[in-house]
Amino acid sequence: MAALRALMKKEGLSAYIVPGTDPHASEYMAPHWAEMSWISGFLGETGTAVITMDKALLWTDSRYYLQAEIELKGTTVELMRESDVDCPSITKWLCDEFKIQNSKLTIGVNPEMYSVNGYKKLREELEDGGLELKSIDLIGPLWTEGRPDIPMNKLLPYDEKYAGESVASKLSRVREALAEKRADAAVIAELDEIGWLLNVRGTDVDYTPCVISYVVIEKAACTIFIDPRKVDDAARTYLKEIGVTVRGYEEVYSYLNGIAATGVLYDGNRVNEALYEAINPAVTRKVNSTPSPIQVMMSVKNEVEIEGEKEAMRVDAVALTRFFRWLETEALKTPQTEMTLARKLTAFRAEGKNYTDDSFCTIAGWKGNGAIVHYHATDEDCAKIEGNGVLLLDSGGQYLDGTTDITRTVWIGDEKAIPAAVKQDYTLVLKGHIALAQVRFPKGTRGNQLDILAHQYMWAEGITYGHGTGHGVGHYMGCHEGPANIRTDNNTNPIKEGNIFSDEPGIYRAGEWGIRIENLVVTVPAKQLSARTTGEQYYEFETITLCYYDTRLIDMTMLTESERAWINNYHKRVYEETAPRLTAEEAAWLKEKCKEI
């Protein structure tokens, strides 16, 4: 803090903002960019530190209040509980803090850590309060001892037999999209986009098979900016074959500064401010295309990708069946915790063909912990599985041919002890889950227009949930993907054929239980439309996840005949597609779970 304040004084700054982000808008961040944690001591995944000459504050949301209280204890850093209604935003706090000053004060930020759109919003809000924003990196010069290096893992070519489309085809499509925007170059910082475009993967980022790099596409060139130590001979040969030039990671700034283009396209939500500021001032058109054309293209899965996802689901189904059978018949013969369950599920998945990693950190929430939507257990702080209760298990796997994400809620203990209230909540969630799975909708429909289907039965009872109902899912890539989604927020991006979404409504009773049911669905052309259709293109969802529901938790009196039939048909398919891959004993166990209701 003292060293930072000395630099702030030297640069004429009244405050410095340190967000918990990286230059690539990553969901999971490499430790090299953990600047917020380094300056504050707070190790949570989400937070922003603000340092003035006499104060230090840390904004984070309610998921991390307890962790922040522990980690900030004994420091000079004050916790700001941003989920609380009376907590001021960072910009409001800064404007209020310095409003008594007569001179125009300056706030500093590292522009690499802010998207172009985020930086613009921050600057405008500060200017409204009479403050200026300055792009400057003050953490880099200070954090020299013990700072982790940028990961040096290898760039891995991704076989076209999994990708389903050549790099040449993808580059051609992107260049056509640039021409439509009257741009002849594009800068890409988001790692998922780079992986999709160049058919490459890596192990630089937890849970997401990405390689840290930047890419610049031009009319007749494509350049990847990456530490050359990450590119071995095989990768270099591959990049040369697909027409991609290799330059050093940091060279992207000088390259953009000298780029000879009339128009440069960027995604303002994913390209960082430092890249934007580096673009040649002579470029007359800087095109903010949000989302980028690549985001839209990669969200539409081709036939090979969809079949790969389905195969990954079949492999995942075997792991899930074996896990839940173990949980029911063997697990509780020895002491278990939320963490031991999570590790056991990973072990079952790791036995599957083409498995490489989990797709996110497994959420195993026992009883009241299941009501914490983004609960994260640790060995030091996790619940023991004992007695009767509800277990919420949200997990997924990364396979070379697909990415999985599934949530199941199950009862552990005496079946006769299941409270009626648990059954009612579970059934309300299941009804919403089925309603969304069965919908048909015309081309051009947006996710927020469908979201009510999952909420309707809960809303009728005065119940809701705060998270989105459905997020996009990548193909052997990020488990959370845009640009379309299914949630109450107004997202103008329509659902497209080939989009894969989660279908995951939930109910959360603080201190008691959490219930969430999640499958993945793929958008396909609607089948067997009425002869009286008015002729528009219609879509529907095909459920691709394969895992039984805990029917002990269903209040059968709340189901319609149509819902009952849907569950039975789904369970029939789960059994038929999974059983041939199981032992006779495992198949018999699954058959009982999938019996008709």
Per-residue pLDDT tens over the stretch 292-303: 999 999 999 999
Q: Tell me the mean pLDDT in the region 426-452.
A: 98
* pLDDT higher than threshold 70 for residue 134: yes
* Cβ-proximal residues to 234 (8 Å cutoff; 6+ apart), any chain: 157
Cβ atoms < 10 Å from Cβ of 540: 18
In this predicted structure, the answer to whether residue 102 has a pLDDT above a threshold of 80 is no
Contact present, 319 and 395 (Cβ < 8 Å)? no
Cα separation, 591 vs 18, whole angstroms: 54
Q: At what angle do helices 191-198 and 167-180 cross, to 10 degrees?
A: 120
Task: Give yes or no: residues 413 and 479 share one domain.
Answer: yes
Assigned domain for 118 exists: yes
Measured between alpha carbons, how far is 490 from 492 in angstroms, rounded to an integer? 6
The percentage of the chain sitting over the pLDDT mark of 90, rounded to a whole number, equals: 94
User: Is 479 part of a structural domain of the chain?
Assistant: yes
Query: 362 pLDDT exceeds 80?
Result: yes
113 within domain boundaries: yes
The answer on pLDDT for 376 being more than 90 is: no
Same domain, 557 and 480: yes
What are 64's two structure tokens?
């991390």
In angstroms, the CA 524 to CA 542 distance is: 7
* Confidence (pLDDT) at 100: 66
The most distant pair of C-alpha atoms in the chain lies apart, rounded to whole Å, by 80
C-alpha dihedral (479, 483, 487, 492), degrees to nearest 10: 180
Fill in the amino acid letter for 197: L
Query: Is 344 part of any domain?
Result: no
C-alpha span between 193 and 30 (Å, rounded): 17
Question: Are 211 and 360 within one domain?
Answer: no
Residue 297 is predicted with a pLDDT of 98
- Same structural domain for residues 280 and 365? no
Distance CA 321, CA 327 (A): 10
Is 164 found in the same domain as 111?
Answer: no
Same domain, 35 and 111: yes
Q: Taking 80 as the threshold, does the pLDDT of residue 159 lie above it?
A: yes
Instruction: Give 282's Cβ-side CA count (13 Å radius).
Output: 6
SS3 314: helix
Position 531 scores a pLDDT of 81
Same domain assignment for residues 122 and 202: no
493 falls within a domain: yes
Domain CATH for 194: 3.40.350.10
Mean of pLDDT values over 375-380: 87
pLDDT at 558 over 90: yes
Out of 281, 298, 315, a domain closes at: 298
Per the structure, how many domains does the chain have? 3
Q: Which of 298, 315, 334 is the last residue of a domain?
A: 298
On average, the pLDDT of the chain sits at: 96
User: What proportion of the chain, given as a percentage, has pLDDT over 70?
Assistant: 99
Q: What is the H or E stretch that residue 80 is in?
A: strand 77-81
Q: Which domain holds residue 509?
A: 349-581
Could you tell me if 191 and 277 lie in one domain? yes
Confidence of residue 66 (pLDDT cuts 50, 70, 90): confident
User: Where is the domain boundary, 274, 298, 322?
Assistant: 298
C-alpha torsion angle, residues 8, 9, 10, 14 (rounded to 10): 60
- Nearest Cα to 592, choosing from 541, 531, 548? 548
**509 and 365 inside one domain:** yes
Q: Which of 5-14, 98-107, 549-558 has the lowest mean pLDDT?
A: 98-107
Cα distance between residue 289 and residue 194, in whole Å: 16
Same domain as 201, residue 105: no
Instruction: Report the CATH number at residue 560.
Output: 3.90.230.10
pLDDT value at residue 311: 98
Residues 286 and 137 in one domain: no
Residue 334 lies in a domain: no
Residues 219 and 137 in one domain: no
Q: 372 in a domain, yes or no? A: yes
- Domain assignment present for residue 342? The answer is no
